[in-house]
Every structure is written in structure tokens, then in C-alpha cells.
Amino acid sequence: MRIERERLERYRHLKREFREDKCINLNPIQRGGVLTPEAREALLEFGDGYSTCDWCPPKTARLDKIERPPIADFYEDLAKFLGMDVARVVTRCREAKFIAFRMLGEPGDYVVVDSLAHYSTYIAAELARLRVKEVPNSGHPEFRVDLDAYAEKTEEVRRETGKPPALVVLTHVDSYYGNMNDARRVAEIAHEHGVPFLLNAAYTAGVMPVDGKELGADIIVSSGHKSWAASAPTGILAMTSEMAERILRPSSIKGDLSERSFGVKELALLGCTVMGAPLLSLMASFPHVVKRVENWPEEVEKARWLVGQLERIEGTRQLGVRPKEHTLIHIESEGFFRVSQTHRRRGFFLYEELRERGIVGIQPGLTKHFKLNTYGLPWEKVRTVAEAFLEIAKRHRLSVG
């Protein structure tokens, strides 16, 4: 039970090497989660344990009922911003998916998902005791999801099980190629088949305008720490009123002796969810987020410009649908890969030479395929990134067009 003193001391002053003020970080999962100054203030103000719960109303004791700080209002505004009726902040986007799956499905039911869904979509289904049926994509180099196949797959489930799938799930923008999918098309198919449609907007809501009503979504899930300038862990679960009745169903368990029951608590939320600092960081960044989504066209422009620069390098091209409609970029580089094969540091040279130039976030060791994200970087830093790649290419005698 005794822990060595030196080991303990290491935990006291935890430092981050890649702090936003110290480098240009291209990590694909991190660009949308950089805090606003307001969020940083909120973290300190509400850092202490259960400090959001000072004014929890005794009779309806639930996070979403708290008015000081204005959590109840925020949930309303959050729903409105996403064009939905009801919103809750949960611990992660993956938990939001699990909650929807658990409450809308029975063990053994299917969810139909795109084959580029994040791993957590599959695991959330598994934890809810559901099965997945995948919708194919076109493979290399576009990896375009075949949206029309949602109809066929939904019917396949019906033939196989005698009932429709519990949900149809679409990843709005996937985490591999940053491809944008037409949510309206999938919503139509889902509704023709009478199946609720869940849109995973982890990479879209919070960085670009997403209106669930317009897109026909019954449920939108998103990630606060990925795309809403919030601290982890924060997930967003927004729904139509109809879905909210099923997904936010109150607890109905009863103590067999005590007859205690907890009808005021939302079952799948286990009562309360993010009762602390990350929720407050999400709230504090919200005014900024509402505004920043309007800048989306320029964010895409920066990504396209960078792709153009990188593709000047011999044997280098962007994978996924062209031109980019999102800031998450997947690069395939036969050129850098060739360099890695004779370099003494193998594939690590690229990471290391970028790092010398103050650029991080490309996965160490990768050259043939790597991902990056330009979201929120000012033009000046995007230019620095382009120059760094071009310099490294030239240094290793790759031709630059």
C-alpha cells in the first residue's frame, strides 16, 4: 500500500509539452477543443468537486434543473442552436450514443452504421447489447459512403430479424478522411422505414453550422472536447421531443423492502452526468462557438489551400472526397514514405523535422498516410505548416511542383 515518495512527487506539477501557446498542433482530434479564455476562467471558478451543485433544487434534484449557474437555460439554448427540442450534456459523445442505443434498442437489435463510423459507435452498440449492420464505402482513394445503401441495409435487417433496426446512424464527418456526408439523404431513408435517425456530429457541430431540423435528425450527438472549445469529458445529446420521451425516460426501479423509487431521475443519465468544470467550460465557450460556426467557409478554404501546397510534393495527395469540405485532412505520401525507407530515423524523420519547426500533432512514425487538422489556425500558421512540409520535402530531394 505504500507508494514511493519520488513516484508521488511526479504527480504534483503536471506539465503539458504541447500547450497551444508553445507550438502549432495539427492533431486531428484537438483543433476544435482549444479552450476560450472564458472557459479557462470557468474551470478555476467551478473546479472544486461538486461546485455546480450549490443550488441544486431539492425537489427536482437534477443537473438540468439547476438555474445558478444557468445550466437549465443553457440546455435550452444548446438544443435551439442545434435545431433540436431537448439537449443534455453527457460525459462523452460515445456515452451519448450508448444512451440512445440502450434506450431505443432491445438486446439483439441492430443499428445500421456507416463503415467509417468511429470505433466508439461500434462499442457503444456492443455495450447496449446491440448488433451492427454496416453500410459500405467506395474504398481507396475516395472512401465515399454509399448513402443509398442505407435503404438496402435497413431492409436486410428487417428480413433477417422480422423488425426494423433500432436506429440508423450516420457519421456526419468521419475521423479517417474527413468526408462530409449528406445527412438529409440518410434521414429520408430512415424515415421512409420508420426508424429513428442519429447523426454523429462529433466533427461538425460546434465548428460549423448544424441544424438538426433542416437535416432531419432525430438525435444529434457531439463532443464538447472535440468541437466545442470545452474540456474533456463532455458529450452532447440533442433530440426531438419525441425521442426525448424515450431516451430520457425516468427511472422506474423500486426498492423491494424500502419501496424507494427515483422517478425524478433520468435512467440512462444515471441521474446526473457532467456535474462540474467541463460542463461550465462548455457553457463559457458557447457564445464564442455560436459565432465561430459562421466562419466555417474560411476554415475550409484554409484546409483546401494547405492540401494544394502539400500536393506540390512529389507522390503526395489528399485522400477522401475532393475538394475538401472539412478541415480534417488525410494525406497519402509515397514521396515521404520513400524517404523513410532509407532514413536512419525511418518514418520518424517527418515527425521530428516538423517538431524542430514547432509543429506537432502528426502521429510519430507515419509518412505514407497521416492526418492533420487546420481548424482554428490563423492563416499565418497554416502558411508556416505548408512551408515546413515543403522545406522538409526539398531537404530530402523530393521534387516540389
Specify the residue, 113 or 339, whose C-beta has the smaller distance to a copy of itself: 113
C-beta of 267 vs 310, nearer to a copy of itself: 267
Q: How far is the CB of 50 from a copy of itself (least distance, A)?
A: 5
Nearest-angstrom CA–CA distance, 353 and 283: 38
Phi, psi of 9 (to 5 degrees): -60, -30
Please state the closest distance from residue 230 (CB atom) to a copy of itself, in A. Answer: 7
Residue 71 or residue 398: which is nearer to a copy of itself going by CB? Answer: 71
Closer residue to a copy of itself in complex, CB, 29/400: 29
Nearest distance in Å: CB 106, a copy of itself: 10
Cα distance between residue 186 and residue 103, in whole Å: 21
- Cβ atoms of residues 26 and 361 within 8 Å: yes
- Min dist. Cβ of residue 252 to a copy of itself (A): 7
Which CB atom, from 290 or from 400, has the smaller least distance to a copy of itself? Answer: 290
Q: Which is nearer to a copy of itself, 274 or 319 (CB)?
A: 274
- Closest contact distance (angstroms) between CB of 29 and a copy of itself is 5
CB of 266 to a copy of itself, least distance (A): 9
